[in-house]
Chains A and B, each alone.
Chain A
Amino acid sequence: MIAAARYYLTLMSRRQTALAPLLVFVAVLGMVYASDAGPPLAAGAVPAAALVPIGAWLMWLCATCESRAFADVTLVAVGSGGRRLCARVLAVLAIGAALTTTACVWARVANPHPYPVPVVVEIAAVNLAAAVAGLGLGAMFAPPLRATAGAATLAIAAVVVLSLIVPWLPPLGPLLHAYIGVRPPSGAHAAVAIGQAALFGALLVAVAYLRGRRAG
């Protein structure tokens, strides 16, 4: 499984299109922290929110980084569609962890506010939960589901926009409501929102896993 995840990471690192979501994330960080971004947690929630569509984008790229023939070879080598999905999830999760680290370091360096360790840990948790939600969303609409890139983009965008509009709809609604809507952010609210986002992603990965086992 780890070898397969490393293989997917290698393929992603050789794929120029994988640079686009990374650059978008860097651009979001640059815009948020261009001047005084305000309280650390509220400021940190904005790049974290961007990690949902970016995570989905990365997952789509990971699922489409091979031609059909090579994807079949990998599938047979890994053993099942479910195991292949786990390898892809691990690969994208590793990228999500790297982006989370970037977000924490960038915030600490660029925002002129105190960043005690608990705050940094909370920002990291929000980012990781958002990345999990994003990769779950990507896993739902990526192959083996026979959706075109356009249809998958529309579906993912619809979920993201809807959860931005409806405050109780995960992954983004509760997350942004907890950190940006409530001042100062309540710890309980935040913990529930982080949990919801992570659970949302995990559930979608589970659904994709079951589908992968059936579809091969």
Chain B
Amino acid sequence: MRLRTVSWWFTRRAVVLDGIDLDVRAGECVVVRGLNGSGKTTLARVGAGALIPKRGQVERTARISYVPQASDNPPIRLRTDRFLSALARVRGIEASSESVDALGLRTAMRRPLNELSTGTITKVLIAAGVSGAPELLVCDEPFADLDTAARAALHELLERLRAGGTAILLTDHSDESHDFADRELLLENGKFA
């Protein structure tokens, strides 16, 4: 993934990203840190293609996965297993049970999404994101809301993906990602410090 002079703003006075340059190569894990409101989520959304930059260019590979922050409970009365298989069909891949088992999601598979806790929703989004060995994985604060076992499982899943050549862009508050980050960048007021 390559971002060149990428900017995004709500209004001219509320600039969120200001001329960001960023490269994430295959098999590399780049962690972006920053305070609340520094632009991490916007950067993740632009990187994944969920948001088109107002200025600048983004080049990405074809098979992208995005794991957003599960800050809200989805108004979806869809069973977790059906959601995962439907999303896999949309992406043109096979639904993987490996990540479901690794994240301890078995018991949640038959429950509707709108009845799950925020932490479990995060696990579901991670399970959806890591399946199918994407070429680029963008995760927005994936460690937030996870229990200790799930954090360890996520570490392992990310390591495996990186070893398989997946480029990983991660935003994170915590020190969880410090150990396996190839590069760490600090975002301040929409610019890398």
Co-complex (A, B): yes
Query: Is B87 part of the contact surface with A, judged by Cβ < 8 Å?
Result: yes
Are A3 and B72 within 8 A (Cβ)? no
Are A74 and B72 within 8 A (Cβ)? no
Query: From residue 14 to 62 of chain B, which have CB atoms closer than 8 A to chain A?
Result: 45, 48-52
Query: Is A7 part of the contact surface with B, judged by Cβ < 8 Å?
Result: yes
Query: From residue 143 to 181 of chain B, which have CB atoms closer than 8 A to chain A?
Result: none
Are B49 and A74 within 8 A (Cβ)? no
Give Cα A80–Cα B91 distance, bound, in whole angstroms. 12
Are B76 and A14 within 8 A (Cβ)? yes
Give Cα A73–Cα B91 distance, bound, in whole angstroms. 10
Q: A3-B86, A10-B82, A74-B90 are in contact. Are A80 and B49 (CB under 8 A)?
A: yes
Are A69 and B70 within 8 A (Cβ)? yes
**Pick the contact of A77 from B51, B71, B82, B90 — CB < 8 Å?**
B90
Query: What is the interface size of chain A, counting residues whose CB is below 8 A from a CB of the partner?
Result: 28
Are A65 and B68 within 8 A (Cβ)? no
Give Cα A125–Cα B41 distance, bound, in whole angstroms. 46
Chain B nearest CB from A91 CB (Å) reads: 12
Give Cα A73–Cα B86 distance, bound, in whole angstroms. 12
Query: From residue 63 to 89 of chain A, which have CB atoms closer than 8 A to chain B?
Result: 65-70, 72-81
A81 contacts which chain B residues (CB < 8 A)? 52
Are A215 and B52 within 8 A (Cβ)? yes
A213 contacts which chain B residues (CB < 8 A)? 52
Give Cα A130–Cα B146 distance, bound, in whole angstroms. 48
Are B125 and A73 within 8 A (Cβ)? yes
Q: A73-B87, A76-B48 are in contact. Are A67 and B74 (CB under 8 A)?
A: yes
**Pick the contact of B74 from A7, A66, A76, A214 — CB < 8 Å?**
A66
B90 contacts which chain A residues (CB < 8 A)? 3-4, 7, 74, 77-78
Give Cα A38–Cα B138 distance, bound, in whole angstroms. 60
Are A67 and B75 within 8 A (Cβ)? yes
- Which size bracket describes the interface of B in this complex? 20 to 34
B77 contacts which chain A residues (CB < 8 A)? 14-15
**Pick the contact of B50 from A10, A15, A214, A216 — CB < 8 Å?**
A216
Specify the chain A residue showing the minimal Cβ separation from B138: A76
Query: Is B78 part of the contact surface with A, judged by Cβ < 8 Å?
Result: yes
Query: From residue 32 to 49 of chain A, which have CB atoms closer than 8 A to chain B?
Result: none
Are A69 and B76 within 8 A (Cβ)? no
Query: Is A189 part of the contact surface with B, judged by Cβ < 8 Å?
Result: no
Chain A nearest CB from B43 CB (Å) reads: 13
Are A75 and B125 within 8 A (Cβ)? no
Query: Is A6 part of the contact surface with B, judged by Cβ < 8 Å?
Result: yes
Give Cα A11–Cα B129 distance, bound, in whole angstroms. 19
| Most chain B beta carbons < 10 A, residue from A7, A65, A73, A78 | A73
Give Cα A112–Cα B76 distance, bound, in whole angstroms. 43
Are B72 and A67 within 8 A (Cβ)? yes
Are A72 and B75 within 8 A (Cβ)? no
Chain B nearest CB from A115 CB (Å) reads: 39
A7 contacts which chain B residues (CB < 8 A)? 86-87, 89-90
Give Cα A215–Cα B89 distance, bound, in whole angstroms. 25
Query: Is B189 part of the contact surface with A, judged by Cβ < 8 Å?
Result: no
Identify the A interface with B (CB < 8 A): 3-4, 6-7, 10-11, 14-15, 65-70, 72-81, 213-216
Identify the B interface with A (CB < 8 A): 45, 48-52, 64-78, 82, 86-87, 89-92, 112, 125, 128-129, 138
Q: Mind listing 11 A-B residue pairs with CB under 8 Å?
A: A6-B86, A6-B89, A7-B86, A14-B76, A69-B74, A69-B125, A72-B68, A73-B68, A75-B50, A76-B65, A215-B52
